[in-house]
Structure 1
Amino acid sequence: MINKIITACFFSLSCFAAAAVSEKPEEYYPMPIRWDTIAPDEINLRGKIYSIPAGSHGVVEQKGDRLIFKDGTPARFWGTGFATSIPGFPPDDKKEADILAKKLASFGINHVRLIVSHSSSPNIWSKFFTSGSMESQEMDALDYFISALRENGIYYSFCLNPNAGPQFKKAGGIPDNGHIADNFRHKGIQLFDKKAIQVICEWFRAFMAHVNPYTGIAYASDPALIYLDAVNEDSIHMAYFRENWKDAGRKFWFLSDENIAYLTREFNAFLKKKYRNTLELHNAWQESGKNGLDEQEHLEDSSVILISKQDLAGTGKERVRDTMRFLLFIDTDFARHIREILDSLKYRGLFTFSNNWYGHGYLNACLLSGNYTETHGYFDHFKYEKLGEKKLQIFENFSYLSGRVRDGQNNPTDQLLIESEAENPFFRCMVNSLYNRPLIVSEWNHGAFSDYVYEGLIMFPVYSMFQGYSILDNHIYFPPSTKNVRESHTITGNDMHGNMVLFALSPSLSLAFSRGYISEPATNFFIVHAKNENAYLDFAAKNGINLDFGSSDYPLRLGFIHKIRQVLYDEKIQSALPEKITGKKFVSDTDEIIWDFNDPAKAVLTVNASCVQMAAGCLNTAEVKLKNISLSKFNTHGAVTAVCLDNIPLGSSKKILVTAASSYKNTDMIFEYRDNKKIILETGKEPVLMKRLYGIIRFRTKLNSDFEIIAVMPDGSKKEVKNIINKKNQEYMEITWTIGLDDTPWYIIKFL
């Protein structure tokens, strides 16, 4: 039914609400988005963000802290990640690969990070190492899947060195550190052991030179390939600065005595390139009241000790600096080997040393080695707890929007939860956001079974748009524990393919993120760590891998107010003056984002931009009024988003997607709450059940034409929304209805 314009207000909104929800609806409804379900036509985004096929705009390039295509088009990507060594992925069946690629594109995914050969099971790298050839069934499946991604407008990136251990073991002669976990057994070592570096370099050269038979393009030459890191989650600074969990007095974290001896020999070789003899070294390191060169140490016989972090405080400044320079050399020289191979193959994409966060020296290595920075971070990253033969998933299950740290008496303090919980992405992004470098978040997620799963899925993309980040890759689509990629429900708290809240929000978030609908501030808020390189080496040695960035004067909450950029060292750029933030309401420089937590029971984050508007948090206790949407009388906490589908501001748009989502569970899932934590006892089965979020929504528009509101069902069918009130004055029309009564998160407002 087409809704004709009505010029009178029929009755009060409270009466309307009572009439519309005369019977309380079911708490959950099924959300049958299976592994092969394509998004309904009304919200299908395939080909609607960038041209098809991927690569049509030319190679993606760095320009300051942004990404742009060769043709000048701004480049932003809403993505996910895959590991290529889980059972059934990439699909051997080409039809399945085509369907999966189409599904991703339809829900707004326009980038995929491919983690190649992550496990110790037979994989592409291990088969290449054994045969010397890139030809294998697994490689053919990956080649075809990548061609399917490209045909659906999806760009991709590689993580080629997530776990080299199985290959090192086959090569022989490469030491390990004895770590119990296979993927940690060669951390640090692979960066300086010459044979390990050779094995890795041969792999990079073969893989990047490989011509995909389905595209006819070598990977090094493909404009649809965006970024590549030299190594996943590794840095010699991690080995140097981290505490050993088994032995707090242990030096160099997980490195064995044999590893340290090898590294010490490399340190002496490094010093010999700078100092001619022991006397020259002694004079350089001598400092009154501090430890310099010991009389037992001699450069000629390579007996100079590589001091540990425990000894830094009492050591002379120049010896500390040379130690930091050596650690920096290990990281950057490893990156240099990979970079030279890529250059020889004429690779034109982005490159960096590593990812995540391993200290200030590590960040310097990334700055010197590449043209972007890359990080990881998670909201409510679940932990496992053994119960007999079972492994239970444990979620902290707290609200970042309203949560505050509690003291010993369980009383709330003024410290925000996001500033104490170091795994969340805000921490990692703030410290890795370098001036004139794009930031790519290659792994992030919100623990899927949390009652507050929508919070991270709204907060982080909003924060990232405001900060001007370039790529967000949700991790991971299929988890390593997946036995069958056709399963369509969540097995662990990490996987995307069964996370229906993420799928519900993905179309609106993809449009908003990829099109840059939330404004960036015009100026940067600079945090400068040092005036010159030497001063920064001092800073890096003092602060190690501290997550307060060595700058406690600049709290994390500033990232919701200003556009933050870190400067490692610069003579001219000055740090912005520290700000004392006393209120419990943050308003962004652009005035588009407000986070109000004055009353934790009414905490809400709102976005009030022209083309996208959002509200997340306590919608059941707080009323929200934005430019074009207002929300009231909701049944529970959750998130509501409104985004234009025609790239026209909401007030004039003829087609708007409105989404409502809260949390979800699997059918027959069993869980309990213990000390505020959520314990998953049984993960259950499909179909996935969405928790219903419903309440009154008012939409204000400048248009005065006829319209319709459609509930877009997960199976693609449409359902007309009735009981709509509209009223009009000379300036605008206001449309009111109860959202969330239908078994879907998606609604379309369409003007005729």
Structure 2
Amino acid sequence: MKRLVRILAAALALTVSTSPAWPADWLPVREISLTIAPGSPLDFSGFLPNGPIDGDSRLVAGTDGRLARAGAPDRPARLFCASLAWSPASGGFPNHADADVYARQLAMHGYNIARFHFIDGSLMFGRQKDFDFDPEILDRIHYLMAALKKHGIYWMVDGLTSWRGGYGGHDDRWAPSEGLKLEVNYQDRAFAHWKRLVTDFLTRVNPYTGIAPIRDDALAMVVLVNENSMEFETVVHDRAGRPYPDSLRQPFNTWLRERYGSTQALRAAWPDLRANERLENASVRLPVERYTDSPRLRDLQAFFVETEKDALARMTRVLRELGYRGLVSDYNNWPTVQTGLTRQNLEAVTMNTYQDGVMSYEPGAKIKNESSLADAGSYMRMAAASRWLGKPFGITEYDHLFWNRYRYEAGLVMPAYAALQGWDMLCRHGHGPIALQYGEPFPHKRAMLPYAIALDPVARAGETLSALLFRRGDVSMSRNTIPFLVRGEEDLTDDMQATEPDTLTVLSLVSRIGLRQSDGLRESLAVNQPRGEADAGKLLAAMKASGLLPENNRTDPAQGIFQSDTGELLLDRDKRSLTLSAPRTEAAAFVALDGPIDLETIRIERGDGDALFAASALDGAASLATAKRMLLIFATDARNTNMRFRDREEKVIEDFGTLPVLIRKGTLSIEFKHRTGRWRLSPVGLDGVVHAPLQSGNGPLRFQLNNDTPAGPATFFLLETD
């Protein structure tokens, strides 16, 4: 591998020296190797250690409903997740030697759980017979599992991810196809397929651990089927005039017959029931329009809730009978009222959420290119409103996707609010969270792409900050919990797409929120039913009156200003800014600096564009005010060489371009208030190498932070004081 890295480095050096001038204000990344050295400023394993995985450290639902280790059920365990969503196009599962390096690197980056996603696609790629797993891929997966466990990294596994499951003879395993993922909820044939798939994979003894994964303490969670919410899966395959597949008609009619008993009773509930629709011969039609509210849609939602709960119980039983003791989750997307009712029965709740999704890698793919702060972090808030209080909760997928220019926000928005909410797990989705080097010869590694965060310096900066804010716990958990009370099926309306109101989920920017069964009772400091009668402003005022919120809390929903009840986080929707002032980390994400940003210890005086800035103590100090070694993060934007768009607003891609990655130039004026003495500032490469100091001084700790350094563009800096 070292020889390959030298060859790639020489090739890149030649490219840089002979290429035409780079676009103005964009700098080519010079690193080839992305493996970080032990003891470097990017090696977090010293203060974020992963202990051995055994019976005492097996993950369970703790005494307060938080994730915990079996030997310490009253002490929450926070999981920082590495998404392993490899395919042949992104290089697939590594060989044994690379797996050892990769697992060690994940631990150094601070990860302590890995999600195995689309393993069915990888195991069945190129296979013609059902359940005929590729033996080499299976061996690589087993070896990687053992390597991860050796470094104290738990596993989370999808029972089914690919729409093709274990069926042979298909070459579209990563593309949506109609059938299995929906039908597993209600068809015996599809359920039997799922059962065979999870049994064949999870019960095979791993030769490198000596135990089957299903009985291994390292297997912390199984997501039964990724993104199989019934309404969502029908949306994926929606056809004009036929939003719901015919396979749903018979089970829906059976359910209606059990509920109403007769066509006459159904007609009293459904004014639009046609004369030729009868329960007695199962001829009641499915809705022909999902976005026009109707009693028919309301009953379809109730049918989905009961069907999904039954499927969840049935699949969970299979795992328990096979000897699995870990946590089970499912229905990890689609934040509607209907799926919220389904998730009430989960042992652990998980959710996927995205800012500015991208549906294709082909020319013509579109994004909105909008700031997540402009809508007060709605993608985070939707996830927060899907949580059930008293159960472990985690994000199985999130991202603020490339090539959105504001994606630097994700490194502050998601980990900071995840910590404020007291979530248990955070997983930014990608082919893999890290890469060992630039220039690997695979189609999805030849340039930065959406869902490929490992090659993106902006995403990597965000993940680095996430390890500190979320796993290390630099952001304090909220002091208060605001329950969103749920009665049950009576909360369903005729609107199939109904979600928790945006005007109420803003409460998650102030305090913890989550769903809680109400049994029809109302509470004074809660979001009650019906939601139309709830008012966030009045609830916040009541919290202040009761002393739950400080009098000086600056939250004003009408002005788009939200301050956490801890006082650490302040979001200004109209300015599109978010700041954090916590003892060990201070940070700011901003679109523009129309004036200085004053944090507790740091003052950002000037800047020349939108960016993320953060400073974190590295030396065990209790605060930045006393820290002697600090990691600074400065992330602007990054794109590929020769990247082209079809429009001036850069919303529609024409060509993703090639490596090397380019980073946009940027400068900030930084002052550490009330700190004087000897100091030096050094750039840190993406490989963790500390380069020669850029600046030093003896006096006020004040400097110009410029990411255009002699060693190449930098997103990381080491600030040291004597």
The TM-score normalised by the length of structure 2 is 0.81
Cα distance between partner residues in 2 of 1:394 and 1:694: 30
Q: Does 1:206 align with 2:200?
A: yes
Aligned to 2:251: 263
Task: Report if aligned partners of 1:708, 1:750 keep a CA contact under 8 Å in 2.
Answer: yes
Q: In 2, Cα distance between the equivalents of 1:381 and 1:154?
A: 29
2:369 corresponding residue in structure 1: 397
The question of 1:514 aligning with 2:471 is answered yes
Tell me the alpha carbon deviations over residues 6-65 of structure 1, each in whole angstroms, 9 at most, x when there is no partner: xxxxxxxxxxxxxxxxxxx96425252546555872221236413344558611222345
Q: Give deviations 1:514-562, integer Å, cap 9, x for gaps.
A: 02211122221222243xxxxx323224332224x2x3652x4332223
Tell me, yes or no, if structure 1 residue 467 matches structure 2 residue 421.
yes
Q: 2:472 & 2:671 partners in 1: Cα distance?
A: 25
Partner of 1:712: 684
Name the counterpart of 1:186.
180
Match for residue 14 of structure 1? none
Q: CA deviation at 1:720?
A: 4.2
Partners of 2:400 and 2:407 within 8 A in 1? yes
Trace 1:443-482 onto structure 2 (pairs within 5 A): 443-478=397-432
Query: 1:617/1:298 Cα in 2 relative to 1: closer, same or farther (>3 Å)?
Result: closer
In 2: Cα distance, 1:243 partner to 1:689 partner: 35
Call closer, same or farther: CA 1:596–1:39 in 2, change over 3 Å. farther
1:114 aligns with one of 113, 116, 119: 116
Q: C-alpha distance in 1, partners of 2:297/2:371? A: 42
For residues 293 and 407 of structure 2, the distance between their equivalents in structure 1, rounded to whole angstroms, comes to 43
Does 2:562 match 1:605?
no
Q: Structure 1 residue 221: deviation in Å?
A: 2.4
Counterpart for residue 662 of structure 1: 636
Matching of residue 624 in structure 1 with residue 597 in structure 2: yes
Q: Give the letter aligned to residue 245 of structure 2.
A: L
Question: Counterparts of 2:665 and 2:38 in 1: how far apart (Å)?
Answer: 20
Match of 1:74 in 2: 76
Residue type matched to 2:137 in 1?
A: E
- 2:562 is paired with a residue whose SS is strand
What residue is the counterpart of 1:9 in the other structure? none
| Letter in structure 1 aligned against 2:219 | L
Residue from 626, 631, 635 that aligns with 2:608: 635
Contact 1:665 1:689 in 2 (8 A): yes
Distance 1:444 1:490 in 2: 21
> How far, CA to CA, are the matches of 2:300 and 2:179 in structure 1?
24
Q: What root-mean-square deviation, in Å, do the aligned CA atoms of Structure 1 and Structure 2 show?
A: 3.8
| Partner amino acid, structure 2, of 1:263 | P
The aligned residue for residue 21 of structure 1 is none
After superposition, residues 14-163 of structure 1 pair within 5 angstroms as 27-32=26-31, 34=33, 36=35, 41-46=40-45, 48-54=47-53, 58-63=57-62, 64-72=64-72, 73-87=75-89, 89-91=91-93, 93-117=95-119, 119=121, 122-123=124-125, 129-131=130-132, 136-163=135-162
Determine the structure 2 residue equivalent to 1:8: none
**Structure 2 residue 530 is the aligned partner of structure 1 residue 565:** no
Q: Secondary structure at the match of 2:282?
A: coil
Secondary structure of residue in 2 paired with 1:153: coil
Q: Secondary structure at the match of 1:613?
A: strand
Alignment of structure 1 residues 356-375 onto 2, 5 Å: 356-357=333-334, 359-368=336-345, 370-375=346-351
Answer yes or no: is the 8 Å Cα contact 2:480–2:565 preserved in 1: no
Per-residue deviation at 1:614?
A: 0.4
d(CA) in 2 for partners of 1:680, 1:34: 28
Q: How far 1:186 moved relative to its partner?
A: 3.1
1:506 is paired with a residue of what secondary structure? helix
- Aligned equivalent of 1:217: 211
Deviations 1:272-330 (A, max 9, x none): 5x79xx5xx5797685896899898465xx63736648699775xxx998765543232
- The within-5 A match list for 1:289-300 is 297=278
Larger RCO (alpha carbons 8 Å, 6+ apart): 1
CA change 1:96–1:169 in 2 (3 A) is: closer
Look up the equivalent residue of 2:585 and give its one-letter code.
V
Q: State the distance in 2 between where 1:397 and 1:293 align.
A: 45
Deviation of 1:722 (Å): 5.2
Q: Deviations over 1:172-209 (max 9, x none)?
A: xxxxxxx9964334342222111111111122223222
| Equivalent residue in structure 2 for 1:690, among 658, 663, 670 | 663
Amino acid at match of 2:282: S
Partner of 2:492: 540
Shift of 1:128: 8.4
Shift of 1:157: 0.6
Q: 1:26 to 1:45 in 2, by over 3 A?
A: same
Cα gap change, 1:639 to 1:483, in 2 (>3 Å): closer
The one-letter code matched in structure 2 to 1:71 is G
Task: Choose from 476, 494, 498 the match for 2:455.
Answer: 498
**Residue 482 of structure 2: which of 525, 528, 550 is its match?**
525
CA distance in 1, matches of 2:207, 2:609: 52
8 Å contact 2:163–2:181 — kept in the other structure?
A: no
Deviations 1:672-694 (A, max 9, x none): 47252344433233232222332
Query: Using a 3 Å threshold, how does the CA distance of structure 1 residues 620 and 327 change in structure 2: closer, same or farther?
Result: closer
Q: Is the 8 A contact 1:652 1:701 kept in 2?
A: no
Unaligned runs of 5+ in 2: 1-23, 434-438, 528-533, 538-556
Q: Secondary structure at the match of 1:196?
A: helix
C-alpha distance 52-123 of structure 1, shift in aligned 2 (>3 A): farther
User: How far apart, CA to CA, are the structure 2 residues paired with 1:514 and 1:57?
Assistant: 20
1:35–1:100 Cα contact (<8 Å) kept: no
Deviation at 1:444, TM superposition (A): 1.2
Partner in structure 2 of residue 303 of structure 1: 282
Partner SS, residue 201 of structure 2: helix
Contact between 1:640 and 1:660, CA under 8 Å: does it hold in 2?
yes
C-alpha distance in structure 1 between counterparts of 2:368 and 2:152, whole Å: 37
| SS at structure 2 position matched to 1:698 | strand
Aligned with 1:657: secondary structure? strand
SS of the aligned residue for 1:566 comes to: strand
Q: Structure 2 residue aligned with 1:699, among 654, 659, 672?
A: 672
Output the amino acid matched with 1:58. S
CA distance in 1, matches of 2:407, 2:339: 31
Aligned to 2:191: 197
Q: Tell whether the 8 Å contact from 1:46 to 1:105 is kept in structure 2 after alignment.
A: yes
CA separation of 1:538 and 1:222: change in aligned 2, threshold 3 A: same
The separation in 1 between residues aligned to 2:404 and 2:272, in whole angstroms, is: 51
The one-letter code matched in structure 2 to 1:735 is L
* Alignment match, 1:738: 704
State the partner residue of 1:228: 222
Quickly say closer, same or farther: Cα 1:65–1:128, change in 2 above 3 A.
farther
Of 277, 299, 304, 1:327 maps to: 304
Cα 1:545/1:363, change in 2 over 3 Å: same
Deviation string 1:56-106 (CA, Å, 9 cap, x unpaired) is: 861122234522222334322222322354257544521111222233333
The CA deviation string for residues 685-743 of structure 1, in whole angstroms up to 9 with x for no partner, is: 323222233222122477x875544332335443343544454xxxxxx5112223533
Q: Write the deviation string for residues 581-610 of structure 1: whole angstroms up to 9, x where unpaired.
A: 211322221111112355x4xx42100011
Secondary structure of 1:526 counterpart: strand
Q: Judge conservation of contact 2:678–2:697 (CA < 8 Å) in 1.
A: no
For 1:221 and 1:526, locate their aligned partners in 2 and report how far apart those are by CA, in whole Å.
Answer: 36
CA shift for structure 1 position 495: 0.5
Separation in 1, partners of 2:359, 2:653: 11
